[in-house]
């Protein structure tokens, strides 16, 4: 380890910055945000730096650097293009035993600036020990994508609650376990959602009866149409927290693999005429696992509230007072349409869109087909592959033109995606020849005409 990461408290601390250009301005932003009393020595400063100094009552000494400038300072940064000046600053600071940073010159630094993820008061610092600042910034961006924007709010909440927790739980071990649950459980989720009053109420209830910490929770997570990159940050975070994962047939295995390595995985998928686990059994499993004190992630393809039967699953949880969260996912219609270059609405073609269940009951797709006749409305049929012929027949019978464009999107958003395009009169034959495999989605309407023009996803078919 070349450097020891240390957080310096700079509020009301005298800091000298030598240089006034773009690099110096970037350093000044950080120093002033940390509350430093900043003195800048430079013949000229950037317009932004001048404004920053004025706003924060900093001092600009409009001159070249001289050794006397360093007196009375506690921290020194050199950010000039002049190597001789930078070397002199390093020498002067070393003589006085002051921490010094010479930008982009690690051999002249006693400390370095890490890349920072700022969720104040929570801070995450990433350093490459000066070897690759670009890599450090890339890692910082990755962390920022995973760390909720409201993490600072959670840190402040934990700080406020700590005296109360210390008063209630005297032993270090149980107190640590309680704090871990607080920042990684239902209380934390309420704080992150901006519901701090509810979070404090729940935390006080847990302190009053520590046995309540054994109660489980269910996360009903929309896994999206397939591409793991389309998962939301919250979905990924809760999936990592779960002790048990129940997942559907339509959930990409790569998404299931995003769960904790030690999490139990339970397949509860269903396909036409083959319900591996009946819906009522899935509902019961969620309840029983939560009652055992486990955190359960229920992964559902697409969005759990759009033909996902999510409402049925949480209804039983609600009846038994089991905490649950619902995380929306990108529904198949949106994912398939976007990747196929078919806008579901378009000023020139469609002013509304309708999502329709397309599966057969008996040998029929049961709908009031007279409602589906508008040429300015896009129809999206879920689960309609087997019922495609019936769908086309009913739309034609009730007045839709034979030349109405139709697209069938197979394996939407995945590398294996294919889009088959035809009309109400031709699409059934096209599909019969291509033999696509579920999951598929059917889009009916004039917006399909834009497929070849707007499709960006490389696909066959």
Which residues are designated catalytic?
248, 270
Shortest CA distance to 408 belongs to which of 439, 372, 453? 439
Query: Is 303 one of the annotated binding-site residues?
Result: yes
CA angle 108, 110, 112 (to 5 degrees): 90
Backbone angles phi, psi at 84, to 5 degrees: -65, -45
Query: Is 445 one of the annotated binding-site residues?
Result: no
Do the Cβ atoms of 35 and 10 come closer than 8 Å?
yes
Pairwise CA distance, residues 287 & 315, whole Å: 10
Backbone angles phi, psi at 421, to 5 degrees: -120, 135
Pairwise CA distance, residues 20 & 40, whole Å: 7
| DSSP labels, 231-252 | S-HHHHHHHHH-SEEEE-TTS-
Helix (H) or strand (E) holding 52: helix 47-55
Do the Cβ atoms of 356 and 369 come closer than 8 Å?
no
Residue whose token pair is 């630094």: 109
Do the Cβ atoms of 100 and 111 come closer than 8 Å?
yes
Pairwise CA distance, residues 309 & 327, whole Å: 14
Q: What token pair was written down for 130? A: 């000066």
Do the Cβ atoms of 227 and 252 come closer than 8 Å?
yes
Q: State the CB neighbour count (10 A cutoff) for residue 134.
A: 8
Distance of alpha carbon 239 from its chain centroid, rounded? 12
Query: Is 301 one of the annotated binding-site residues?
Result: yes
Query: Is 68 one of the annotated binding-site residues?
Result: no
Query: Is 43 one of the annotated binding-site residues?
Result: yes
Q: What token pair was written down for 41? A: 């020595």
Q: What token pair was written down for 454? A: 């707007």
Residue whose token pair is 């309407």: 445
Query: Is 225 one of the annotated binding-site residues?
Result: yes
Burial (CB count <10 Å: 0-12, 13-18, 19+), residue 346: middle
Query: Is 23 one of the annotated binding-site residues?
Result: yes
Query: Is 440 one of the annotated binding-site residues?
Result: no
**Coil, strand, or helix at residue 124?**
strand
Query: Is 22 one of the annotated binding-site residues?
Result: yes
Helix (H) or strand (E) holding 200: helix 196-208
Query: Is 306 one of the annotated binding-site residues?
Result: yes
Shortest CA distance to 284 belongs to which of 242, 322, 328? 322
Q: Which residue positions form the known binding site for NAD(+)? A: 22-23, 43-44
Q: Which residue positions form the known binding site for S-adenosyl-L-methionine? A: 225, 301-303, 306, 331-332, 383, 412
Q: Which residue positions form the known binding site? A: 22-23, 43-44, 225, 301-303, 306, 331-332, 383, 412
């Amino acid at each position: 380890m070349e450097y020891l990461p240390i957080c310096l408290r700079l509020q009301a601390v005298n800091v000298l910055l030598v240089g006034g250009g773009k690099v110096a301005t970037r350093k000044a932003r950080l120093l002033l945000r940390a509350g430093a009393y900043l003195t800048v020595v430079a013949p000229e400063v950037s317009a932004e730096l001048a404004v920053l100094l004025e706003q924060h009552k900093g001092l600009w000494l409009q001159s070249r650097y001289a050794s006397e400038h360093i007196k009375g300072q506690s921290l020194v940064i050199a950010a000039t293009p002049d190597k001789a000046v930078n070397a002199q600053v390093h020498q002067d600071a070393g003589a006085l035993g002051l921490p010094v940073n010479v930008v982009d010159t690690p051999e002249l630094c006693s400390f370095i600036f890490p890349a920072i993820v700022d969720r104040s008061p929570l801070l995450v610092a990433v350093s490459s020990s000066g070897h690759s600042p670009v890599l450090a910034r890339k890692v910082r961006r990755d962390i920022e994508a995973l760390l909720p924007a409201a993490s600072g709010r959670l840190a402040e909440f934990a700080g406020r609650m700590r005296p109360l927790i210390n008063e209630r739980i005297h032993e270090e071990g149980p107190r640590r376990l309680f704090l871990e649950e607080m920042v990684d459980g239902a209380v934390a989720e309420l704080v992150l959602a901006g519901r701090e009053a509810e979070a404090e109420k729940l935390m006080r209830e847990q302190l009053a009866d520590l046995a309540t910490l054994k109660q489980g929770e269910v996360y009903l997570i929309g896994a999206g149409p397939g591409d793991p990159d389309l998962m939301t940050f919250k979905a990924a975070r809760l999936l990592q927290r779960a002790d048990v994962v129940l997942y559907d047939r339509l959930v990409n295995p790569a998404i299931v693999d995003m769960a904790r390595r030690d999490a139990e995985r339970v397949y509860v998928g269903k396909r036409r005429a083959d319900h591996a686990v009946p819906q009522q059994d899935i509902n019961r499993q969620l309840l029983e696992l939560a009652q055992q004190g486990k955190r359960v992630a229920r992964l559902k393809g697409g969005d759990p509230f759009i033909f996902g039967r999510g409402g049925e699953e949480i209804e039983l949880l609600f009846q038994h007072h089991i905490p649950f969260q619902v995380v929306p996912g990108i529904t198949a219609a949106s994912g398939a349409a976007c990747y196929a270059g078919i806008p579901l609405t378009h000023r020139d073609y469609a002013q509304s869109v309708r999502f329709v269940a397309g599966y057969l009951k008996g040998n029929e797709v049961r709908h009031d087909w007279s409602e589906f006749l508008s040429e300015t409305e896009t129809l999206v049929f879920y689960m309609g592959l087997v019922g495609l012929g019936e769908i086309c027949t009913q739309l034609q019978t009730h007045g839709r033109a034979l030349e109405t464009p139709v697209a069938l999107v197979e394996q939407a958003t995945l590398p294996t995606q294919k889009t088959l395009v035809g009309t109400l009169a031709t699409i059934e034959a096209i599909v019969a020849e291509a033999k696509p495999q579920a999951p598929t989605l059917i889009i009916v309407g004039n917006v399909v005409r834009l497929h070849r023009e707007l499709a960006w996803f490389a696909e066959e078919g």
